[in-house]
Structure formats: C-alpha cells, structure tokens
A = this chain, B = another copy of it.
Amino acid sequence: MEINFTSFSDFDPDTTVLEVARVEDVAFDKTPLIPAIVQDVNTGRVLTLAYMNREALAMTLALKQTVFWSRSRQELWHKGATSGNFQDVVGIYLDCDSDALLLLVQPHGPACHTGAYTCFHKKIKQS
C-alpha cells in the first residue's frame, strides 16, 4: 500500500512535556499490562495500540525498539523480529495517571500484521 501524505516536520512532542518520569513511575503494580500507543514521529499518525508489561518496557528501553507483550501468544514480542518492520523508539511519554504510554517511533515498515501502514485502517460509519 502506497502512503503519500505530507509529513509534518514541526512535530515536537517535547513541547508539552511538564515533567520527567522514571521507568519506576509506570504503574505496573496496579496495571500489569499497560496500554502503549505507537505514533509515527514523521507523520503523526497513530499506528497501533499494544500492551507492555514491565519486562517489555525494559527491553524497549534497552533495544531502543518497540517490544510488547502479546496477549494472544502470551509472550514477549519484539516488533519486526520476524517481519523486519522494526520500530525505532524516539521518545516515550507517560500519562497523568501513569497507566498509559505513548511511544514516538520511526517505523521501518507497515505497523499492521495485515501489511497496512496503520492498524487503525477501519473507519466507523457515523450517521
């Protein structure tokens, strides 16, 4: 699938950062599987919602590429390990309640297992 939309080079998520958090601040004790939003740093498009446990986030930080917890396979999942579609992590943000993550990434290929650029490729019909 060819994607041909304008990238927005002025995208700087750090303009809204109010504080620096540590990995230990993420609320894994309360929520063992934290939802992680993956956003393309070039286009601003949301690519995927996946989940991270403590180990997945630690591996993400170590590899500087996204690693999730696959709920269907019940195992760690280094995105791109089989497809080559790695996602290099540019920045990791935590929300006010410390129970959701936002990852800005540089993708090496499609995010979706269907081959689509983004997993959010279905539009809900509004009447």
| Chain A residues within CB distance 8 Å of chain B | 1, 3-6, 8, 10-23, 25-26, 35, 37, 39, 44-46, 48-49, 61, 64, 89, 91-98, 100-102, 112-114, 116-127
Instruction: Please indicate which of the listed interface residues A20, A23, A95, A98 has the most CB atoms of chain B within 10 Å of its own CB.
Output: A95
Q: Given A5-B15, A16-B45: A96 and B121 within 8 A (CB)?
A: yes
> How distant is the Cα of A30 from the Cα of B89 in the complex, in angstroms?
31
Copies of this protein in the assembly total 2
When C-beta atoms are compared, the residue in chain B nearest to A125 turns out to be B20
Q: Given A96-B112, A112-B96, A116-B96: A121 and B49 within 8 A (CB)?
A: no
B residues within 8 A CB of A113?
96
Are A124 and B22 closer than 8 Å at their CB atoms? yes
Contacting A21 at CB < 8 Å: which of B6, B64, B93, B125? B125
Q: Given A6-B8, A8-B11, A20-B122: A39 and B35 within 8 A (CB)?
A: no
When C-beta atoms are compared, the residue in chain B nearest to A64 turns out to be B126
Cross-chain pairs A/B with CB under 8 angstroms, 13 sampled: A3-B16, A5-B15, A19-B122, A19-B123, A35-B49, A44-B44, A61-B126, A61-B127, A92-B123, A92-B126, A96-B112, A98-B122, A100-B119
